[in-house]
Amino acid sequence: MKHVFIINPVAGFENSFITLSEKLKGFKDKYDITVHVTSSVKDATEYVSDYLKNHSGEEVRFYSCGGDGTLGEVVNGIADNEYASVTCFPCGSGNDFVKSVGGKELFSDLESLFNAKNKKIDLIKVNNGVYSLNAINVGFEARACKVANNARGKSKNPYLRGVANALFTAMRNKISVEVDDEIINQSGTMLLSSYANGGYVGGKYNCAPRYKVDDGLIEVCLVKPVSIFKFLRLISKYERGEHLDSPKFKKIVTYRQAKKVRIFSDKEFDFCVDGEMYLGKEFILEICPGILNFAIPETTK
C-alpha cells in the first residue's frame, strides 16, 4: 500500500509540516510514503483526484493532516474509489469528525494510523457536487462558521468570535426545510439547522447526539427562532448534546432522520459544508451509504 500525506501547513496553531516531517523520518524505511503540502483552497482535492487518475488500481491511503476543512477536501478527491482509503492526523483547531470515530488522541499515533483498518462509512452528497463527511450547517451556525473562517489566525478561539457575531445577525433566518417530502418548518423560519453524518461542530458542540456514521441516514435538527436570552440559557445543553431529550427544547427543536433533504429560500443564504462556505437559494442533500473507506485505528477502550 502507498501512504500519501496531505499536509496543510497553516492548520491549527503551529506549523504542522515541521512537526510531521520530524515524525515521519522514523517510518520512511518501513512504508512507501509520499508527502504533499497544500498551497491553496481545494489544492488537496485536486491533488488527490489527479493522484488517483495516475495510479489507477493501486491501493493507497491518504492521510489528511490538518483540520476538518483539509479532511473534507481529501474526501472530495476520493469519493467512492474502491482502492483508496482516507484517515486523519488531526492538526486543526476543531477536529470535529475524529471526535465521532474515536477522538483526537486515537488518531495522533502514526504507527496506529499505518495499521488502521478500513471502515465503510456514509457521505452526504450536495446537489452542487460536494460531499460532506461530517456536518452541514445553515442559519446561526453557518454565520458563526463564516465569521470564524475570516478570523482564523487572528483569534485564539475564532468560532467563539463567530458565535458572538451570529447573536446579533442570525437569530431569525427565512429558510425552509423539506425532509423526505415533509416541510418541517411551516413558518419558513429557523434559528439554525444541521444535517449531520458525524456528531460535532464548532470544536465542541454535539449537534447530532444520535449520529451513526454508517446507518445510511442524515441526522436533521432544526431549532426555531428564540430570543437571545433564551438562546444563552440553552446553549450549554446544545453543547452537551442534550437538546433532543431536554424538556426545555421540546417546543423549539424538530428532529428527523432522513434519506433526502431540500433546503430553500427566496434569497441566497450561507451554507456551510464541513467548515467550507457556499451561497445559494436551494440545496438538495442525499445520503450515500458506505461509499468511503475510512481507516480507524484500533482501540482497547
Give me the numbers of helices (H) and strands (E) for the chain, helices first please.
8, 14
215 Cβ neighbours under 8 A, 6+ residues apart = 122, 257
- 20-35 b/e (C-beta count within 10 Å ≥ 16 → b): beeebeeeeeeeeeeb
Q: Is the pLDDT of residue 53 over 80?
A: yes
Mean pLDDT of the region 206-230: 96
- State the DSSP string of 213-253: TTSS-EEEEEE----HHHHHHHHHHHHTT-TTT-GGGTTTE
For residue 184, what pLDDT is reported? 98
Q: Is the pLDDT of residue 238 over 80?
A: yes
Average per-residue pLDDT for the chain:
92
For residue 266, what pLDDT is reported? 97
Q: Is the pLDDT of residue 12 over 50?
A: yes
Can you give the three-state secondary structure of 157-178, one letter per residue? CHHHHHHHHHHHHCCCECCEEE
Residues shown for the chain: 301
**Is residue 22 very low, low, confident or very high in pLDDT (cuts 50, 70, 90)?**
confident
Query: What are phi and psi for residue 176, nearest 5 degrees?
Result: -105, 150
> What pLDDT, in 10s, does the model give residues 159-174?
788 889 999 999 999 9
> What pLDDT, in 10s, does the model give residues 58-112?
999 999 998 888 999 999 999 779 999 999 999 877 789 999 999 999 999 999 9
Mean pLDDT of the region 203-211: 91
288 Cβ neighbours under 8 A, 6+ residues apart = 80, 122, 123, 124, 125, 131
Bridge pairing between strands 176-179 and 260-273: antiparallel
Mean pLDDT of the region 178-202: 95
**Separation CA 246–CA 64 (nearest Å):** 36
Mean pLDDT of the region 205-211: 94
Q: Which domains does the chain have, with CATH numbers?
A: 2-122+291-296 (3.40.50.10330), 132-288 (2.60.200.40)
For residue 36, what pLDDT is reported? 95
Mean pLDDT of the region 204-212: 93
Answer with the residue of higher pLDDT: 157 or 228.
228
| Positive/negative CA dihedral, 11, 12, 16, 18 | positive
**Separation CA 52–CA 76 (nearest Å):** 12
Answer with the residue of higher pLDDT: 264 or 23.
264
**Is residue 15 very low, low, confident or very high in pLDDT (cuts 50, 70, 90)?**
low
> What pLDDT, in 10s, does the model give residues 97-148?
999 999 999 999 999 999 999 999 999 999 989 999 999 999 999 999 899 8
For residue 241, what pLDDT is reported? 95
**Is residue 10 very low, low, confident or very high in pLDDT (cuts 50, 70, 90)?**
confident
